Homo-oligomer: A and B are copies of this chain.
């Protein structure tokens, strides 16, 4: 369906609804938490009765407003349930399976891989963040952007765009950031709290992985790994490995960065990143994985040495 007609329908059902629930993906990141809270505050402005449901998230978002309103589960029947920043039904955090029990389900997202699992879906695959996509929707709903709403939206935009780094950041994103500064949103502070600060466990895990980066194929491949034992020793939590794969990618001369994470005995989850020309999704697909040309992943059921050898061999072929 034409996405603008779908958006018209979403605006209409939200306008008509009284009781609305907001959901997002498991392991919520800055864009999940930020978009959920911003939408929650926006719908309160419109005098709706709103529930907001998320799983536990990083303490770094502790400065965001209205965190105490967030529930871990809801069991009611809603006029509309909205899934934010969630690409598939399977990724939705919904312990009581209440999302599908609403009269209407809506999904708003920026993942190009979104499966359109709701009744009404609005997906902007080229948006840097769901929070950025919400700006347009808030305008349509007549929600006034406040400093509180703006802080939530900037938390999502900063974290999901890598600090305005990715090429999904468009002129509207920068213009929105400018308007949020004018509104008094402390972008520099949000940047520091949500993007720069690492827990000691994250820092130690990253340092461990970084210190054991090895180079292959005349330094064009950088490869490292973390084991379950590393996670235990550093007291790392789920998600604390995020970003480690970028360290290798940012070393001059490196075309492909490979990161292996042990998830079980002889079971490694692989992330691959390339810079200029290697299609890492091709390499990942050889191991039953996939992704994009510059960012892909797969699982390998082997011991560490064999997994590394296979990855280096196949990556070297496409260099």
| A residues at B contact (CB < 8 Å) | 59-60, 163-167, 169-175, 177-179, 181-182, 186-189, 191-192, 196-200, 203, 207, 210-211, 213, 219, 246-247, 250-253, 275
Contacts and interface: CB of A to CB of B under 8 A. Distances in A.
A219 B207 contact: no
A69 to B, nearest CB: 25
Contacts of A173: 178
A177 B198 CA distance: 28
A187 B169 contact: yes
Nearest to A247: B203
Contact of A188 (B169, B182, B192): B169
Contact of A166 (B178, B188, B199): B188
B166 A203 contact: no
A212 B204 CA distance: 11
B166 A170 contact: no
Given A197-B250, A251-B197, A165 B178 contact: no
Nearest to A165: B191
A200 B164 contact: no
A188 B162 CA distance: 10
Contact of A174 (B175, B198, B203): B175
Nearest to A170: B181
A171 B174 CA distance: 9
Nearest to A176: B174
Contacts of A203: 247, 250-251
A250 B178 contact: no
B198 A219 contact: no
A179 B171 contact: yes
A252 B198 contact: yes
B169 A174 contact: no
